[in-house]
Amino acid sequence: MKDKRSRLFSLSVKDSKYFNDKEDKIELVACFQLGKECTEHRLIINENFLASRRFLLNKDYPSSIEALKSAFYKAAELQESSCSKCAKLFCSTITKSLENIHEDLQKMSSGLIRNKQYKPSFKLATLALEEFRKKT
């Protein structure tokens, strides 16, 4: 009986339920160049996305934000090549992820049950979003 109750009230969930480490965030679906230009970039972008998700699970928000910044700047490098449409899509996907983190940090650092420890991370996310918006 004790075992059943512990599963009912358990708050821990395996990471794999929410984040699949084997699934890339950015995948090649169709490309007239067959992905020859962006293969290395996509690999690095996906590695940074994965790192960002892992940091996020560990509530290491500054590292998560930095990983997204690395992914964004790697995607922005593609804008100078023939992959500019894909690069814009990659950048918007990364920006959306950062906006979600920013929104969560805003909720955690303001209101009645605010936590001051998230304020520096919120400011870092705000600055990163401003950087992204200037770049696009």
Alpha carbon distance 108, 5 (integer Å)? 30
Q: Give the pLDDT confidence of 80-110 residue by residue, as tens digits.
A: 667 778 888 889 999 999 999 999 999 888 8
Q: For the chain, which residues make up each domain, given as ranges?
A: 39-135
Alpha carbon distance 126, 101 (integer Å)? 10
pLDDT at 6: 42
In Å, how far are 5, 17, 48, 129 from 65, measured between CA atoms?
A: 37, 22, 10, 10
Name the more confident of 106 and 115.
106
Average pLDDT over residues 43-67: 94
Report the SS3 class of residue 59: coil
